[in-house]
Amino acid sequence: MTIKLNADKQLLEKIDEFERLGGCVQFKVFDVENPNNSYQTHLAIAKQTLIEISKDSDNYFQKIAKELNTDREQYFKQSIDFSKLENSGTQIQLSDFLGPQFDTQTRKPFIKGVQRLYNSYFYYDTEEIEKNSVNLNEIAGQYKFNDSDGVTGAFCGAFLEPPHSVRIGTSIFEHGRYFLEFSNLFFSDLNNIEIYKWSVDCSNYFDAGKEWWGSHFWTIYNPIKNIYIGIVASTTD
């Protein structure tokens, strides 16, 4: 099995754009030649994702250290314990991946109010008024979360609600449309993707999110584009 980073310009530009807009979820996209069985391939992608994220972190802090004329060792250093990753993967359903902020039947996200009703949620394609609000607490009560899932719960919440907001428009419609366009670009058909969830105890990268926001680690196989995607998220304010 051979794994290499995917070089699709459109995907890479979208990842960079999302980061610039304030998104806290990180994506690594891979091509795999001669894949092993499903679990072993996803495990290999999970390992490579951590390696690539660690490289990015090291490059960033090396740059900071050089700019400030300080010692690189005084900054965060990512550690990885592959032994805690090996047998931790669990294949999960689409609804558990997307979480309560996404209606898998209508294929519509629930968006937190962005203009005035900041503590209410709405279908993205409705008007942000009280009568259209959705009881997200009731929906979330149907899910089983780990402590490390934090306030974000799962992918949709982590994508749409970083601690300091994501700058993807001034309406719930713009937020929802961006999420759907991003998901379509990376996942193609939500009905066909293969999803694994992994332990967030395998690296200190995930420690920050365990405070309250959430720590997440998934690998996705998109059979339409024949790509694997490593997704990690962990942050605090």
Tell me, letter by letter, the H, E, C secondary structure of 6-27.
CCCHHHHHHHHHHHHCCCCEEE
- Residue 175, Cα to own-chain centre: how many angstroms? 16
- Alpha carbon distances (Å) from 37 to 34, 46, 224: 10, 14, 18
Distance CA 22, CA 33 (A): 33
Residues ≥6 apart with Cβ < 8 Å to 138: none
Each residue's pLDDT expressed in tens, for the chain with a length of 237 residues: 999 999 999 999 999 999 999 999 999 999 999 888 999 999 999 999 999 999 987 776 777 777 777 877 767 788 999 999 999 999 999 999 999 999 999 999 999 999 889 889 999 999 999 999 999 999 998 898 989 999 999 999 999 999 988 999 899 999 999 999 999 999 999 999 999 999 999 999 999 999 999 999 999 999 999 999 999 999 988
Distance CA 87, CA 199 (A): 9
Closest by CA to 84, choosing from 233, 213, 204, 236, is 204
Residues ≥6 apart with Cβ < 8 Å to 162: 22, 23, 24, 213, 235
Longest distance between any two alpha carbons in the chain, whole Å: 56
Residues ≥6 apart with Cβ < 8 Å to 7: none
Query: Model's pTM, two decimal places?
Result: 0.93
Q: Can you read off the two tokens belonging to residue 58?
A: 């090291």
Distance CA 28, CA 205 (A): 15
